[in-house]
């Protein structure tokens, strides 16, 4: 038997299970660990608990699961029953007498009373749970990401629970796991009293109830329908018609979503008009920057449609971009909130406007200055361009929601690290992508790393870029391991993002941003 297998046992003695549960509850309460906690933290604490209680190390993974449950408990118990999923394994059914049928989602219980499944499902559905009898956590994570549920109570064997830990943590899915009493693919069992106790816990503490990023995203998208936009763009001048059209065009609406997430996370009372206005302000600035970027990059298409400067000319596109900048400030000026909050929002927006322009200016000059641009200089450009766009959204929403100064500072740093990680990821994706490579400057971070590594061979570096020879460039990137170095930088800045989120006191925003990180930087 492998060492891992030996550590995945579940105590058969109910008193021992209860003793371990009580101790993990005490330890988590004393240490005030916030979810999601990584595997290393759980393992270290679990070892201490087993040593303290003088319990065999064979229950290490069981204790780690108990710790994870206690860390998530406040969030799960604050989630309404109607927003929870009960995930059960198919092996709980009576394999010989079961009359249920399977579909693409899992087992459809026939209610034949040949096993405990019917009783469990009936109790769960009476409470309002969504239920699923299926193996693995992929479906559960998908349901959280699409906004159908906000938390999961899952039953499975120890190996499956262990394998679920990484994806559930990465997606920041609030979850409580109950292990089967013994492994086996059929006719197994569990502690039913424990399961029913977990199912019926409900605190009603709204401070810990999670936000559904997917549901909020749908709401934010609705703000930009032509009908909703007329409230902010009521005129019929040609410029305003162009601007309204640009605002209605697609995209992920990530920036206004971040503003709304931050506002909802901190505001004690949600002012829907203020929330819509915040989203509109952020999107005005974003769409203005896209119009100007497209001109500067001479881009042919945006959202799979011809860019405005291609269809109507550069002067029109510049003017519409300028109009949207003015419109953003105009909407912000009318935001109904405390004057001090209003002034802070204006300060954040105007400061980010300046930094974004500085970052864009440096980016435009990269082709001339790449040989003299250090790796740190490139990171600074990423911070100003992408980091500031994230920062202005998060901080404006947080300030409007009266977030504490400490959290504002953490959100500022998180945004900077996120912007850098996002751009490095894009450079790597661009380089590794299957589409035809057009120009070395499509992945400037790799060029900066290569230039730094080729210290003393700068003439060769400049000559290589002038000839635009991808064959030679790729040979040099391999020789100096620039891609591997970029991957290390990416992981470093992703870790910085998570470290900053771990300092956030606001549970709602912390978990929402963890979930966004998991989707953006999915491994």
Report DSSP letters for 287-342, one per residue: HHHHHHHHHHHT-SEETTEE-HHHHH-HHHHHHHHHHHHHHHHHHHHT--S-HHHH
Residue 356 pLDDT > 70, yes or no?
yes
Q: How confident is the model at residue 112 (pLDDT cuts 50, 70, 90)?
A: low
Report pLDDT for 141. 80
* Percent of the chain residues past pLDDT 90, beyond the cut: 61
Report pLDDT for 110. 47
Q: How far is CA 417 from the centre of its chain?
A: 14
Q: Output 384 or 102, whichever has higher pLDDT.
A: 384
Residue 81 pLDDT > 60, yes or no?
yes
Helices 507-520 and 60-78: angle between axes, nearest 10 degrees: 120
Q: For residues 195 and 189, what is the distance between their CA atoms, to the nearest angstrom?
A: 11
Residue 358 pLDDT > 90, yes or no?
yes
Least confident of 120-129, 161-170, 310-319: 161-170
Specify whether the CB–CB gap between 63 and 41 falls below 8 A.
no
Specify whether the CB–CB gap between 210 and 265 falls below 8 A.
no
Residue 3 pLDDT > 70, yes or no?
no
Instruction: Calculate the average pLDDT of the chain.
Output: 88
310 within a domain of the structure (yes/no): no
Please, which residues have CB within 8 angstroms of residue 243's CB and are 6 or more apart in sequence?
233, 320, 323, 324, 327
Q: What is the mean pLDDT of residues 295-309?
A: 92
Q: Work out whether strand 151-156 and strand 175-179 pair parallel, antiparallel, or are unpaired.
A: parallel
Residue 104 pLDDT > 70, yes or no?
no
Output b/e per residue, 504-518; b: 16+ Cβ within 10 A. Answer: bebbbbbbbbbbbbb
476 within a domain of the structure (yes/no): no
108 within a domain of the structure (yes/no): yes
Least confident of 220-229, 369-378, 500-509: 369-378
312 within a domain of the structure (yes/no): no
Residue 94 pLDDT > 70, yes or no?
no
DSSP H helices, 156-212, are: 158-170, 192-200
DSSP H helices, 209-301, are: 213-222, 226-229, 238-248, 254-266, 272-297
Q: What is the mean pLDDT of residues 256-267?
A: 97
Q: For residues 142 and 122, what is the distance between their CA atoms, to the nearest angstrom?
A: 24
Q: What is the mean pLDDT of residues 198-205?
A: 93
Specify whether the CB–CB gap between 410 and 510 falls below 8 A.
no
Report pLDDT for 145. 79
Q: What is the pLDDT of residues 6-50, one digit of tens each?
A: 567 889 899 999 999 999 999 999 988 889 988 899 999 999 999
Please, which residues have CB within 8 angstroms of residue 496's CB and are 6 or more apart in sequence?
413, 417, 421
167 within a domain of the structure (yes/no): yes
Least confident of 97-106, 176-185, 454-463: 97-106
Output b/e per residue, 115-144; b: 16+ Cβ within 10 A. Answer: bbbbebbebbeeeebbbbbbbbbebbbebb
Q: Output 371 or 71, whichever has higher pLDDT.
A: 71
Phi-psi map region of 427: left, alpha, beta (phi>0 left; psi -120 to 50 alpha): alpha
Q: How far is CA 144 from the centre of its chain?
A: 12
How many Cβ atoms from other residues are within 10 Å of residue 231's Cβ? Answer: 12
Residue 297 pLDDT > 60, yes or no?
yes
Specify whether the CB–CB gap between 67 and 27 falls below 8 A.
yes
Q: Work out whether strand 107-108 and strand 101-102 pair parallel, antiparallel, or are unpaired.
A: antiparallel
Residue 330 pLDDT > 90, yes or no?
yes
Distances in whole angstroms, Cα of residue 69 to Cα of each of 63, 66, 152, 267: 10, 5, 11, 28
Helices 470-479 and 482-501: angle between axes, nearest 10 degrees: 70
Q: What is the mean pLDDT of residues 44-63?
A: 95
35 within a domain of the structure (yes/no): yes
Residue 1 pLDDT > 50, yes or no?
no
Least confident of 260-264, 345-349, 431-435: 431-435
Specify whether the CB–CB gap between 132 and 87 falls below 8 A.
yes
Greatest extent of the chain over all pairs of C-alpha atoms, in Å = 80
Starting at the earlier edge strand, list the strands of the sheet with 175-179. 130-133, 84-88, 151-156, 175-179
415 within a domain of the structure (yes/no): no
129 within a domain of the structure (yes/no): yes
Specify whether the CB–CB gap between 319 and 387 falls below 8 A.
no
Tally of domains in the chain: 1
Q: For residues 151 and 35, what is the distance between their CA atoms, to the nearest angstrom?
A: 13
Please, which residues have CB within 8 angstroms of residue 196's CB and are 6 or more apart in sequence?
123
Q: Output 152 or 118, whichever has higher pLDDT.
A: 152
pTM of the model: 0.88
Residue 451 pLDDT > 90, yes or no?
no
Q: Which domain holds residue 187?
A: 3-200
Given CA atoms 465, 468, 472, 477 in this order, what sign does their dihedral have? positive
Report pLDDT for 364. 87
């Amino acid at each position: 038997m492998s060492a891992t297998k030996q550590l995945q046992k579940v105590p058969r003695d109910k008193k021992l299970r209860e003793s371990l549960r009580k101790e993990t509850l005490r330890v988590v309460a004393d240490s005030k660990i916030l979810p999601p906690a990584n595997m290393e933290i759980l393992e270290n604490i679990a070892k201490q608990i087993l040593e303290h209680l003088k319990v065999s190390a064979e229950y290490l993974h069981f204790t780690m699961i108990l710790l994870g449950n206690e860390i998530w408990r406040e969030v799960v118990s604050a989630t309404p029953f109607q927003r929870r999923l009960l995930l059960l394994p198919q092996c709980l059914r009576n394999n010989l007498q079961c009359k249920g049928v399977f579909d693409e989602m899992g087992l459809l219980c026939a209610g034949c009373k040949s096993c405990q499944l019917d009783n469990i499902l009936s109790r769960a559905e009476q409470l309002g749970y969504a239920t699923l009898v299926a193996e693995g956590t992929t479906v559960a994570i998908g349901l959280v990401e699409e906004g159908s549920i906000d938390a999961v109570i899952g039953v499975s064997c120890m190996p499956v629970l262990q394998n679920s830990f990484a994806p559930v943590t990465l997606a920041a899915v609030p979850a409580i796991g109950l292990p089967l009493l013994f492994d086996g693919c059929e006719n197994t069992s569990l502690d039913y009293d424990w399961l029913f106790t977990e199912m019926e816990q409900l605190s009603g503490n709204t401070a810990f109830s999670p936000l559904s990023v997917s549901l909020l995203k749908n709401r934010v998208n609705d703000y930009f329908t032509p009908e909703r936009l007329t409230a902010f763009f009521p005129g019929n001048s040609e410029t305003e018609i162009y601007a309204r059209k640009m605002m209605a065009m697609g995209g992920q609406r990530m920036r206004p979503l971040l503003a709304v997430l931050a506002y909802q996370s901190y505001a004690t009372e949600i002012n829907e008009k203020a929330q819509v206005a915040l989203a509109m302000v952020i999107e005005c600035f974003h769409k203005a920057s896209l119009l100007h970027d497209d001109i500067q990059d001479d881009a042919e298409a945006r959202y799979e449609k011809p860019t405005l400067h291609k269809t109507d000319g550069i002067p029109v596109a510049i003017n519409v971009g300028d109009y949207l900048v003015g419109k953003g400030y105009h909407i912000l000026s009318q935001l109904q909130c405390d004057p001090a909050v209003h002034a802070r929002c204006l300060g954040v927006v105007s400061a980010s406007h300046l930094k974004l322009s500085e970052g864009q200016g440096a980016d435009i000059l990269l082709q001339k200055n790449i040989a003299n641009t250090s790796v740190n200089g490139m990171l600074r450009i990423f911070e100003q361009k992408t980091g500031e766009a994230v920062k202005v959204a998060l901080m404006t929403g947080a300030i409007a929601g009266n977030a504490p100064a400490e959290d504002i500072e953490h959100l500022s740093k998180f945004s900077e690290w996120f912007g850098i990680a996002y751009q490095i990821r894009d450079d790597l994706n661009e380089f590794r992508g299957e589409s035809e490579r057009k120009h070395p400057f499509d992945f400037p971070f790799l060029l900066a790393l290569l230039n730094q590594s080729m210290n003393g061979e700068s003439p060769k570096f400049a000559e290589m870029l002038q000839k635009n020879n991808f064959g030679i460039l790729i040979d040099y990137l391999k020789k100096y391991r620039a891609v591997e170095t970029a991957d290390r930088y990416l992981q470093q800045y992703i870790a910085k993002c998570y470290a900053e989120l771990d300092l956030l006191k606001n549970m709602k925003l912390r978990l929402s941003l963890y979930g966004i990180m998991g989707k953006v930087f999915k491994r």
